[in-house]
């Protein structure tokens, strides 16, 4: 019984140690490097590391040299088994600005139990939406649950029995 208790305490201490002392800024730079291979560059950011996460203040996203979006804050919580990303006040720039939509918040959740699946929750001027990114089949699917003003993006949406949705392959 003591062996089980000691092993449990050791594993808990190891888990907490990994989370607390993980170089979160280095993880961000690695993600930035991977995005750069896809033509996406994040610039003008300021990083603030905390015990369990990383905050990226005022980032601007560029796709193939064109500015696409700006956010007020990206808050990443890296907990190994469950990872969460929250993006606040996304403002579309450049060509994307013509969509005339505001995204107040975007939350993405990832679990190690399903590593190729990312769950999305979005709140914007178009309403409330949920969706997922399936990395295996390379599909982005977003269901608009509570539509408000979908006219600016209606040409990108499809109609189903349950309502409007967006689906794309990448």
Tokens of 16: 């907490």
CA atoms of 163 and 168, how far apart (whole Å)? 17
Question: What is the predicted pLDDT for the residue at 77?
Answer: 95
Question: What is the predicted pLDDT for the residue at 130?
Answer: 98
Residues 6+ apart with CB under 8 A from 35: 41, 42
Residues 6+ apart with CB under 8 A from 138: 169, 170
Question: What is the predicted pLDDT for the residue at 121?
Answer: 98
CA 112 to chain CA centroid, nearest Å: 15
3 state SS of 38: coil
Query: What parts of the chain have a pLDDT lower than 70?
Result: none
Q: How many domains does the chain have?
A: 1
Range of the domain at 138: 100-170
Beta-bridge mates of residue 54? 49, 76
62 in a domain, yes or no?
A: no
76 in a domain, yes or no?
A: no
């Amino acid at each position: 019984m003591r062996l089980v208790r000691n092993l449990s305490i050791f594993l808990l201490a190891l888990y907490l140690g990994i989370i607390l002392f993980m170089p979160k800024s280095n993880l961000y730079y690695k993600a930035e490097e991977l995005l750069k291979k896809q033509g996406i560059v994040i610039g003008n950011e300021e990083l603030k590391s905390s015990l369990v996460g990383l905050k990226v203040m005022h980032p601007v996203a560029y796709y193939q040299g064109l500015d696409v979006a700006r956010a007020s804050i990206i808050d990443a919580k890296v907990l190994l088994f469950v990872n969460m990303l929250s993006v606040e006040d996304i403002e579309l720039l450049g060509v994307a600005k013509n969509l005339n939509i505001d995204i107040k918040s975007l939350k993405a959740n990832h679990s190690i139990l399903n590593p190729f699946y990312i769950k999305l929750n979005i709140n914007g001027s178009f309403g409330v939406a949920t969706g997922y990114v399936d990395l295996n089949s390379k599909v982005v699917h977003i269901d608009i649950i509570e539509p408000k003003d979908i006219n600016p993006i209606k040409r990108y949406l499809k109609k189903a029995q349950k309502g409007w949705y967006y689906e794309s392959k990448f």
